[in-house]
Structure formats: C-alpha cells, structure tokens
C-alpha cells in the first residue's frame, strides 16, 4: 500500500518549510511512523552525498537524518546547483546531466516530470508517510504551467497541503489569505490548514489573528502559531540564511569565512558557530578580515570566477598579506584549489594564492563520495593529530596533486588528500564536514589559542531534532494534523 502524503508549502522562500518538515520528520519517527522527506526540485549549492555517491540537497539529507533513515537520491530527484549568472548544474536522481541556462532548463523541465513521479512512487512504497516540501511560493502564477515541485506534486500524490507563512517579515494575512485566493478552487480545497511561523512574543496575543485567518474568505484552519526558535543548531539550507556566529562571550576570537559569490556547502562551518569562544564572521571585503585568528576559504561552484572576484575585491592581496604575517589560512574544496599555485580549466588558467604547493586540473569527471580518512601529516598542527581518523564527504571536479598530503584513505595509504603549507598551520582539503569531527576541530582551535567548548558536540544535532519536534508538538494542533492525514486517501 502506498504511503500517505502531506505537503508543507510556503507563501514565499525562507518561511521555514525545510525546518518544519525536518521537525515533523522527527515527530512522526519517534512515534513509530516510517516517514521520509521529499522535495521534487531544489536549488542549492549545499549538497549532500548519499551512500551510493548520488547528490541531493542538504536540506533533504538533514530531514532524512531527522526521520532516522539514510538519505537517498529519491528524496530530491532534481537538484539545481547555480554555477554562474543564469546557469546551473542540473543533478537528476543523484547524477549530473549538464549545465544549463535558466531558459534551457525551463524548456526541458517537463521531460523531468517522470523522474519526479518515479522517485516519489518509490518512497511511497517504502514508507508509511512521505512529507513533501514545496519550493518558494505556492502561488507563482507565471510558473504554474510548468510546475513540477508544488501543487502538481500534491495533485499527483493526492496530498493535503499545509501552507506556511512568515509573520516575522510582516503581511501574514496577505501572505496566507492572498496566496490561497489566487489558486484554482480545486487547489484551494487542497490547502487544509495554515501555519503561522516565526512568531515573536506571546502567541496568545494573536488570537484575533487566528480568527481572521480562519473566518475570512479564502481562510483555513490555523494548525499552529509557531514561535521563533533560537539557536536550533540545524544547518541552514541556503545562502539567504547566512548568519554570523552566536557566541555571547565578549572575549571570543574572530574566525573569518570568506563569503565567495558562489559559496557552496557553507554548513561546513556550523560547528564553529556554536563554539563558545569563537566569533564566526563572514567576510566580503578586506576590512572584514581585521583581527581574525584564522581565515577560511570555503567551497565554491565557480572556482575561477570566485578567484577573480577575490582579486577584484582586494581580498586576494589581503589574504596573502595576512598569511605572510602569520595568520593561518584554511581551504575546503574550491577554497583548497584557490590556495594553490594555479588552476587550469580548459582554455582558462588562473594563478592562485600560492600558499600551498599544489596545482589543480579540472575535468568533466565528478567525484562524489563519502569518505573516512587517516591523518598522515606529522608536523605543525597535525603533529598531535597524526593517526587520527576523520570522516566527511567529497564533491568536486578538480584533480589536485600534493607533495605534503594531510590524509590518506584508511584502507589505502596511496590514496591521499589535502596539503599542508610550510608554516605547518595553513592547509587545504577536499573533505567537507571536517569540522564536524569533534577531536579535529578542538585540536585546531587549540592551535589557534582558542579554548574549545566541551559542550559543543557535533553529535548533539540529534538533540536538536528532538528539541525541534518538541517545539512543534507544543505549538501545533497535533490532533488536527492527524485528522488531516487520516481524512486523506493513501492512494
């Protein structure tokens, strides 16, 4: 029997759909329901690698973790990864099919509908409940004719819809009532409830607002008024959610992450955000690097383009100067490539920061894998870490040879990654998720003269899922939610 389905849709982007979906995944999972997340199409440079090497949006991987299941490519059959203005790499059921302009993708999108339904059908056969996340606004009328992610999916799955609005940004009545009013009658009927998200203050004071949303034309039952949840520790999905660290300590040491125009997988640094004595900041200009204890160059979907931006912005020279004056520089994936002497991509070639003795050659072949590595570097910072086991994942096109590697594969010492600079403090690696390895992160912070917070355990994300589920259980009408599910046909 196919699983029941429920769509979590939004009035616009960043209303909290992904977080609510993750919280509901944990809420149902801990009540014994076999639940899986699904988002037909996602646009994000924050990707995750599944066990089979396929890529999906990190939000769906996080939701799978909340559901206590392994992520699969069926949870996000279409992933768009912006590479440059108006162009994105398209990943279909985990594998890249090419880079397309927005116009070309718009023309081909209908041909991908079969991949969407195939993946959704497989999830429904394997689970009792599939929580479908919509994208952007549910009422993008100009896109309705080519929709493959919002109401068309709900119709296909016969899924009831909960519509989420963001009261913190204002206009909650226009958001919810207006969005529902713009839909065809059949789709209006599919919206079975509203969720008012990100409420600040005493939600009891919004009782009149609830009455208005439920009784006005195009109204619907309010399933919950969800208060703003601070420091939830669940990684953000997109660059729109960039935030600096949250350390309240006035003596916290500043660590700067360079906010590249095409930054990817910036959730690599989430564990640093929650270090008590780290003031994590995103840097867009040279002055932002002032008094930084360390500088991090993150991953990017456009390495050469972002390298040119570094030069134009003045950050290139500032990073070189600070490195020469003793500030450690760390590069992850594309940032690792930028730290080398040269990057070659077809006919294009750019000189890098020359902090690391490496050269990168791009190729069409893409590496996507989950990895476990052993530290083989034995000087500087890594002297105390030699032999340590770390884990993470790789997503990259480039091939980089290093004469001073950081890591080797656990079962093959000839398979190496990363490079250590002559200063013994600056390094680069293709390994995403490195700072989620608590022992490594704490040793690195100590090398910077920063006391690590023993309470900052990356494994505590499970506690964060439970806290989020508790938050939703307290503020949503769970009985009403169950009625909506029970009244819907499993199909």
> What residue spans of 10-101 are helical by DSSP H?
17-29, 58-66
CA proximity to 429, closest of 420, 437, 421, 418: 418
- Whole-angstrom Cα distance, residue 490 to residue 129? 9
Active-site residues, by number, are 333, 432
Using CB atoms within 10 Å of the CB of residue 306, give its burial: 0 to 12 exposed, 13 to 18 middle, 19+ buried: buried
- Residue 199 token pair: 């409420």
Structure tokens at 331: 């590069």
In sequence order, the 6+-apart residues with CB closer than 8 A to the CB of 374 are 387, 388, 389, 390, 407, 408, 409, 410
If you compute the radius of gyration of the chain from its CA atoms, what whole number of angstroms results? 23
Dist CA 338 CA 358 (whole Å): 10
Q: What angle do CA 389, 393, 398 make, to 5 degrees?
A: 115
* Residue carrying the six token digits 């207006």: 178
**Alpha-helix residue ranges (DSSP H) falling in 170-257:** 172-173, 179-181, 185-190, 207-215
C-alpha atoms less than 13 angstroms from C-alpha of 138 in its C-beta half-sphere: 35
Query: Which H/E stretch holds residue 409?
Result: strand 407-409
Q: How far is CA 151 from CA 155, 365, 402, 458, in A?
A: 6, 36, 50, 36
Cα angle 318, 323, 324; round to 5 = 100
Residue 291 has which token pair?
């008094």
């Amino acid at each position: 029997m196919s699983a029941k389905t429920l769509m979590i849709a939004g009035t616009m982007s960043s209303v909290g759909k992904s977080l609510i979906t993750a919280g509901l995944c944990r809420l149902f999972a801990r009540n014994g329901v076999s639940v899986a997340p699904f988002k037909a199409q996602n646009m994000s440079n924050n990707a995750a690698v599944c066990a089979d090497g396929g890529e999906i949006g990190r939000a769906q991987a996080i939701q799978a973790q909340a559901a206590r299941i392994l992520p699969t490519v069926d949870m996000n059959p279409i992933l768009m990864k912006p590479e440059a203005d108006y162009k994105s790499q398209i990943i279909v059921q985990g594998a890249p099919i090419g880079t397309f302009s927005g116009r070309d993708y718009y023309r081909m999108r209908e041909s991908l509908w079969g991949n969407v339904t195939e993946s959704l059908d497989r999830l429904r056969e394997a689970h009792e409940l599939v929580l479908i996340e919509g994208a952007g606004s549910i009422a993008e009328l100009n896109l309705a004719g080519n929709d493959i992610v919002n109401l068309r999916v709900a119709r296909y799955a016969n899924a009831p819809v909960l519509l989420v609005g963001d009261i913190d940004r204002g206009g909650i009545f226009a958001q919810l009532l207006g969005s529902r009013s713009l839909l065809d009658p059949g789709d209006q009927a599919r919206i079975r409830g509203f969720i008012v998200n990100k409420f600040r203050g005493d939600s009891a004071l919004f009782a009149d607002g609830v009455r208005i949303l439920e009784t006005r034309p195009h109204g619907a039952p309010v399933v919950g008024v969800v208060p703003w949840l601070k420091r939830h520790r669940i990684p953000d999905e997109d660059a729109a959610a960039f935030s600096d660290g949250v350390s309240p300590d006035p003596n916290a040491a500043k660590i700067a992450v360079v906010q590249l125009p095409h930054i990817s997988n910036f959730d690599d640094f989430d564990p640093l955000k929650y270090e008590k004595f780290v003031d994590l900041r995103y840097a867009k200009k040279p002055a932002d690097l002032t008094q930084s204890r360390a500088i991090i160059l993150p991953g990017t979907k456009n390495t050469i383009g972002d390298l040119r931006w570094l030069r134009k912005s003045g950050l290139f020279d500032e990073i070189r100067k600070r490195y020469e004056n003793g500030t450690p520089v760390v590069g992850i994936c594309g940032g690792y490539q930028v730290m080398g002497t040269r990057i070659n991509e077809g006919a294009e070639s750019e000189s890098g920061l020359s902090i690391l003795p490496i050269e990168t050659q791009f190729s069409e072949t893409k590496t996507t894998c989950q990895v476990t590595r052993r530290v083989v570097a034995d000087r500087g910072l890594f002297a105390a870490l030699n032999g340590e086991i770390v884990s993470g994942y790789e997503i990259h096109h480039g091939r980089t040879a290093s004469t001073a590697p950081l890591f080797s594969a656990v079962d093959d010492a000839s398979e190496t990654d990363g490079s250590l600079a002559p200063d013994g403090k600056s390094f680069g690696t293709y390994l995403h998720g490195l700072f989620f390895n608590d022992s490594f992160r704490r040793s690195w912070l100590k090398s910077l003269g920063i006391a690590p917070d023993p309470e900052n355990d990356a494994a505590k994300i499970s506690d964060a899922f439970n806290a989020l589920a508790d938050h939703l259980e307290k503020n949503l009408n769970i009985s009403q939610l169950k009625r909506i599910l029970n009244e819907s046909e499993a199909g």
